[in-house]
């Protein structure tokens, strides 16, 4: 999930320092690569929708399954992931933590942004050749249904990483002063060279290298603003290359494994669906109905915000998209009623955390992919925990707004409520259809997204009459970019998780966690604290890919139902993601609301406490998560 912050971004912060005039040929080459990558990336998103829709139609309508549809979708998917990663890199949209870097002076921030690009360039330079070797090895493998050489799929890795390397070099010289760019590259080169020189010494340290590379190394890179995916990748490559005898091609192999799960194809498709429901007016129809229904009660629009986020959440794949679909429709009226800006952004952030378990959540899909837990069970179990946490937020809203003056607010008539309900019925039906189709086994989590896309397009064209054809291509490109940034993180995190497992760390962690006094209660409490911290630093998806395969088996061993555990850790990560000062979700809410982060710091404390109380209730009562799981 790519979440923007109030940080101006690489180009913006460097511009503040008075960067030199652009070099014409560099700009032209950068633009040409952008077109070269964006057009096929957009077409691949469209192709995936068509291929999967054909598979669903053939299987469930014509009762004649297409044996090649999933295989073709898988081949195209890796190309989409790599091309999307390139687009995200060119746009500066790979996930990174800017809470610390963003507080520095413009000049210092700009230079650290160059360091971040230089670090990414170093990783890409290291893995391009191993990726080529990996693709060469795949020539001996043929796909079962289509019978084509698997190198056609694997070639996406060296080509994608090579183009990303070129983009990185162009970016560092496009947006930075020449001397600063060379200095940043030199600093990274010196660090890499120094580590290479002490390589023999590192091998003698044994498992202390885990602390050096995966705690100190990853921590330093993330805090310096290096995109999370490249931080994971550099640490993993350095650990394997300098401290083990394992071939570095394994890093690429594990990245391929992480990005190639067909279930993850739901990521770009749900991202596209989220953009469609915003463009077609589906989200606004939901919000208008809820506003008419509850707008006349004290704190009513705050309840509407909680309810609207519950309905919309999870469909887009991006919390930023969820918030952007709901906030603009509500905030102007809430401001008129006297709501303070800080309280608005605080509640918006809290609802983002509240709805992390609402299906079809990409975090839940990732949990299913990484741990083998049933996606249908996770989708069933995720509905009620979101309600419980919503109730705790609603209780705080009632307390804060119990003295609200509503003398100037007109209560909507029954006719107005009924009319807005009729308008909203097609919109309200969409999340119900999506969740029911998965839970009832009509379609997989991947396939059902295509049904939602078709439904949204038809509703936009025929019912709401809001469909801007000019926005379709930018939406497809944005879908590819956001999906690429998510999938690249999953690939890098998979490699890192493999390295940790091979080192014996997973066994040691399992033994330590099982040895904690108090059994399941202590294990759950430690997990909540750990995932709140991880959520603020790494966000949900990379944290799950890293620790899910390690911790879920332990949860089962101590007697915790895997769906129950999934709900608790997902909500805990949501708190970390939206809690300042590190949670990037909070800064996303500020950017969408156009409210300064400082204004929400005090009001959000109460909402975070309410969220934590909700998580404790969900953790203490397993039935909330498992009561409806078959």
Q: Note the pLDDT of residue 587.
A: 72
Per residue in 108-125, is it b (16+ CB within 10 Å) or e — as a string?
ebbbbbbbbbbbbbbbbe
Q: DSSP strand E in 216-361: where?
A: none
Q: Are 389 and 614 in contact (CB under 8 A)?
A: yes
Please tell me the distance from the alpha carbon of residue 624 to that of residue 564, in angstroms, as a whole number.
Answer: 8
Q: DSSP readout, 54-78?
A: HHHIIIIISS---TTHHHHHHHHHH
CA dist list (Å): 78 to 74, 94, 140, 251, 260:
7, 17, 19, 16, 6
Rounded CA gap, 359 and 314, in Å?
Answer: 6
Contact in structure between 101 and 7 (CB atoms under 8 Å): yes
CA angle 165, 170, 175 (to 5 degrees): 130
For residue 433, the model assigns a pLDDT of 80
Q: What is the DSSP letter of 126?
A: H
Strand, coil or helix: 334: helix
Residues near 79 by beta carbon (within 8 Å), at least 6 away in sequence: 40, 44, 153, 156, 160
Is 149 strand, coil or helix?
strand
* Residue 321, burial from CB neighbour count under 10 angstroms (0-12, 13-18, 19+): buried
pLDDT at 510: 67
**Domain ranges in the chain?**
9-260, 264-470, 502-626
**Interatomic CA distance for residues 210 and 504, integer angstroms:** 10
Collect the ranges in the chain with pLDDT lower than 50: 1-18
Is the separation of the CB atoms in 129 and 521 below 8 Å? no
Distance CA 617, CA 630 (A): 22
Paired tokens of 211:
């602390």
**Is the CB of residue 81 less than 8 Å from the CB of residue 259?**
yes
CA distance 169 to 118: 8
* Tokens at 204, concatenated: 């003698």
- DSSP code, position 357: G
Distance of CA 453 to the CA centre of its chain: 20
- Cis peptide upstream of residue 318 (ω within 30 degrees of 0): no
pLDDT at 17: 46
CA quadruple 466, 467, 471, 476: dihedral sign: positive
* CA pair distance 447, 459, nearest whole angstrom: 19
444 φψ region: left (φ > 0), alpha (ψ -120 to 50), beta (else): beta
Among candidate residues 453, 449, 421, 454, the one with its CA nearest the CA of residue 435: 449
Are 146 and 68 in contact, with CB atoms under 8 Å apart? yes
- Residue 142 φ/ψ, nearest 5 degrees: -120, 150
Q: How many Å apart are CA 378 and CA 383, to the nearest integer? A: 9
The Cα–Cα gap between 499 and 304 comes to 46
Rounded to whole angstroms, the Cα distance separating 331 from 351 reads 14
DSSP 464: S
Whether 449 contacts 269, CB under 8 Å: yes
Predicted TM-score (pTM) of the model is 0.77
Smallest CA-to-CA distance from 607 within 339, 350, 398, 341 is with 350
Q: What is the token pair recorded at 482?
A: 């956001």
Q: Which of 612, 514, 598, 589 is nearest to 554 (CA)?
A: 514
The sign of the dihedral angle between the CA atoms of 619, 622, 628, 630 is positive
Residue 589 near residue 348 (C-beta atoms within 8 A): yes
SS (H, E, C) 223-247: HCCCCHHHHHHHHHHHHHHHHCCCC
Reading the block at residue 39, the tokens are 């057009």
In three-state secondary structure terms, 8 is: coil
Classify 142 as helix, strand or coil.
strand
Q: Would you list the DSSP string of 561-587?
A: -HHHHHHHHHHHHHHHHHSTTT-HHHH
What the block records as the tokens of 171 is 């970016």
| Contact (CB, 8 A) for 500 and 107 | no
Phi and psi of 198, rounded to 5°?
A: -95, 10
Are the C-beta atoms of 157 and 135 separated by less than 8 Å? yes
Q: What is the token pair recorded at 503?
A: 């080192």
Tell me the CA distances in angstroms from 194 to 112, 210, 217, 238, 536, one per residue in order: 20, 18, 14, 12, 31
CA distances from 436 to 56, 422, 445, 475 (A): 16, 21, 11, 26
Give strand ranges (E) for 266-408. none
- Determine the Cα–Cα distance for residues 434 and 449; give it in Å rounded to an integer: 7
């Amino acid at each position: 999930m790519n979440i923007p912050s109030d940080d101006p971004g690489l180009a913006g912060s460097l511009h503040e320092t008075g960067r030199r005039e652009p070099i014409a040929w560099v700009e032209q080459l950068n633009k040409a690569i952008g077109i070269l990558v964006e057009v096929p990336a957009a077409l691949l998103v469209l192709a995936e929708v068509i291929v999967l829709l054909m598979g669903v139609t053939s299987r469930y309508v014509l009762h004649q399954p297409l044996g090649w549809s999933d295989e073709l979708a898988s081949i195209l998917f890796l190309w989409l992931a790599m091309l999307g990663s390139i687009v995200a890199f060119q746009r500066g949209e790979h996930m990174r933590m800017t809470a610390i870097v963003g507080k520095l002076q413009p000049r210092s921030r700009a230079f650290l942004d160059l360091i971040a690009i230089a670090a990414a360039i170093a990783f890409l330079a290291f893995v391009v050749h191993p990726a080529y070797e990996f693709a060469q090895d795949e020539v001996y493998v043929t796909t079962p249904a289509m019978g084509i050489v698997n190198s056609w799929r694997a070639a996406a890795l060296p080509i994608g990483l090579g183009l990303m390397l070129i983009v990185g070099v162009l970016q560092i010289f496009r947006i930075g002063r020449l001397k600063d760019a060379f200095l940043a590259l030199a600093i990274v080169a010196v660090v890499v060279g120094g580590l290479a020189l002490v390589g023999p010494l590192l091998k003698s340290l044994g498992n202390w290298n885990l602390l050096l590379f995966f705690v100190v190394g990853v921590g330093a890179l993330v805090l310096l603003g290096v995109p999370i995916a490249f931080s994971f990748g550099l640490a993993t490559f350095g650990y394997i290359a300098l401290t083990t005898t394992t071939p570095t091609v394994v890093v690429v192999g594990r990245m391929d494994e992480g990005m190639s799960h067909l279930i993850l194809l739901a990521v770009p498709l749900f991202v596209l669906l989220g953009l469609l429901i915003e463009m077609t007016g589906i989200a606004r129809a939901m919000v208008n109905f809820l506003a008419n229904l509850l707008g006349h009660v004290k704190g009513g629009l705050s309840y509407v915000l909680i309810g609207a986020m519950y309905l919309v959440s999870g469909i887009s794949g991006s919390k930023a998209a969820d918030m952007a679909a709901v906030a603009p429709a509500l905030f102007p009226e809430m401001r008129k009623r006297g709501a303070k800006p800080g309280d608005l952004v605080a509640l918006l952030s809290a609802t983002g955390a509240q709805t992390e378990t609402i299906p079809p959540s990409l975090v839940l899909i990732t949990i299913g992919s990484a741990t083998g837990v049933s996606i249908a069970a996770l989708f069933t179990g995720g509905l009620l925990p979101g309600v419980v946490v919503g109730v705790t937020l609603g209780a705080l809203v009632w307390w804060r707004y119990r003295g609200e003056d509503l003398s100037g607010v007109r209560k909507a008539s029954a006719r107005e409520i009924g009319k807005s309900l009729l308008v909203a019925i097609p919109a309200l039906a969409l999340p119900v259809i999506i969740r029911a189709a998965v839970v009832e086994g009509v379609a997989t989590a991947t396939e059902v997204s295509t049904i939602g896309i078709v439904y949204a397009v038809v509703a936009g064209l025929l019912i709401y009459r809001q469909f801007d054809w000019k926005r379709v291509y930018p939406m497809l490109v944005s879908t590819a970019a956001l999906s690429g940034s998510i999938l690249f993180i999953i690939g890098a995190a998979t490699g890192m998780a493999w390295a940790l497992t091979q080192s014996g760390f997973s066994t040691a962690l399992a033994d330590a966690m099982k040895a904690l006094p108090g059994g399941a209660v202590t294990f759950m409490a430690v997990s909540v604290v750990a995932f709140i911290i991880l959520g603020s630093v790494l966000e949900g998806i990379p944290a799950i890919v890293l620790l899910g395969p390690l911790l879920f088996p332990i949860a089962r061993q101590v007697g915790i139902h895997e769906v129950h555990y999934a709900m608790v850790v997902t909500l805990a990560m949501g708190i970390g993601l939206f809690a300042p000062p590190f949670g990037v979700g909070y800064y996303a809410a500020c950017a969408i609301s156009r409210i300064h982060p400082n204004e929400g710091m005090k009001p959000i404390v109460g909402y975070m406490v309410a969220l934590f109380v909700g998580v404790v209730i969900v953790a203490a009562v397993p039935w909330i998560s498992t009561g409806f799981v078959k």
